[in-house]
Amino acid sequence: MPPYALTPRNIQIRDNFDAIAPKYDLTNRVISFGIDLHWRRVAIRQLRDVKPDGAVLDLACGTCDMALEVLRQQPAARLVGADLSRAMLGLARKKLAAGAAPVTLVNAPAEALPFRDASFDAVTIAFGIRNVPDFLAGLKEMLRVLRRGGRACILEFSTPPSRLWWKVYNYYFFKILPRIGGLITGREAAYRYLTDSVALFPDAGEFKAAMEEAGFAGVSCLTMNGGIVCVHTGVRP
Ligand SMILES: C[S@@+](CC[C@H](N)C(=O)[O-])C[C@H]1O[C@@H](n2cnc3c(N)ncnc32)[C@H](O)[C@@H]1O
């Protein structure tokens, strides 16, 4: 595959994460009231049919909260984490060293993964796919690196179907969350980008169609907290 040239959007998003990286974990805990840990736990439970010592790629791994949850639930799994932001990977490296967690980290874009076809039993990505501007290319790469029967598990924000809940959630998400993010990190604009990227992301039905277009089979979606977040899963046929 020819080397992938980062687009201006990729660079802007990467720089955003580089800037908020030092306070990323703390901000996540505060703005989600700690529920983000539960969301990742439920997402990884969807991988229970993956063999215990399977090879798992955590894409857009950030500070590795998702990869660490995989190891909590499947201690024999062989983990690789990939991310575009070197600052996020730097923090991940420190966390992994502190817990002596065996995760190989790679600085790579989701749009062009430096792995051979069919090299993983599962691919996970938490709150990452909406940051991949060409997310269909990202889904196709996930499919390519999965073995036949391998499972993708995609945790992402979504649009709650209840109009009332949607209004409450939107108020918090757009009016309050960026301010809290700004107070903690000093980078309110970066948190405005994060909330805007959720607004632009397809709803569960549209995302299911995108996964099928990328080639996934058995696509399904588990919603949590009234549809604020979804775990999308699909299998490489
Ligand atoms: C919201 S964070 C999620 C991090 C982590 N998965 C978690 O659950 O906390 C999104 C991550 O996606 C990464 N990212 C953004 N665009 C990417 C791309 N095109 N390829 C790979 N990683 C990307 C960012 O650097 C950031 O670490």
pTM of the entire predicted model: 0.94
**DSSP state, 92?**
H
16 CB near ligand 1 (under 6 Å): no
pLDDT confidence of residue 210: 97
Kindly list the domain boundaries of the chain, sorted by start residue. Answer: 8-157+201-235
Residue 88 CA: nearest ligand 1 atom is 27
CA gap 84, 12 in Å, rounded: 11
CA distance 172 to 54: 39
- pLDDT of 191: 80
pLDDT of 202-220, one tens digit each? 999 999 999 999 999 999 9
127 Cβ closer than 6 Å to some ligand 1 atom: yes
Please, is 163 exposed, middle or buried when counting C-beta atoms within 10 Å of its C-beta (0-12, 13-18, 19+)?
Answer: exposed
Q: Is the CB of 219 under 6 A from ligand 1?
A: no
Report the pLDDT value the prediction gives residue 1, as an integer from 0 to 100: 59
Identify which of 68, 85, 125, 136 to mutate to test ligand 1's pocket (most ligand atoms within 8 A of the CB): 85
8-157+201-235 classified as CATH 3.40.630.30: no
| Residue 2 confidence (pLDDT) | 55
50 Cβ below 6 A of ligand 1? no
Residue with tokens 């399977």: 54
Question: What's the pLDDT score for residue 212?
Answer: 98
Which residues of the chain register pLDDT less than 70? 1-2
pLDDT at 78 (0 to 100):
96
| Sheet with 103-107, side-by-side order of all strands | 103-107, 78-83, 55-59, 120-126, 146-157, 229-235, 217-224
- Is residue 81 within 6 Å of ligand 1 at its C-beta? no
The residues pairing with 146 across neighbouring beta strands, listed in sequence order, are 120
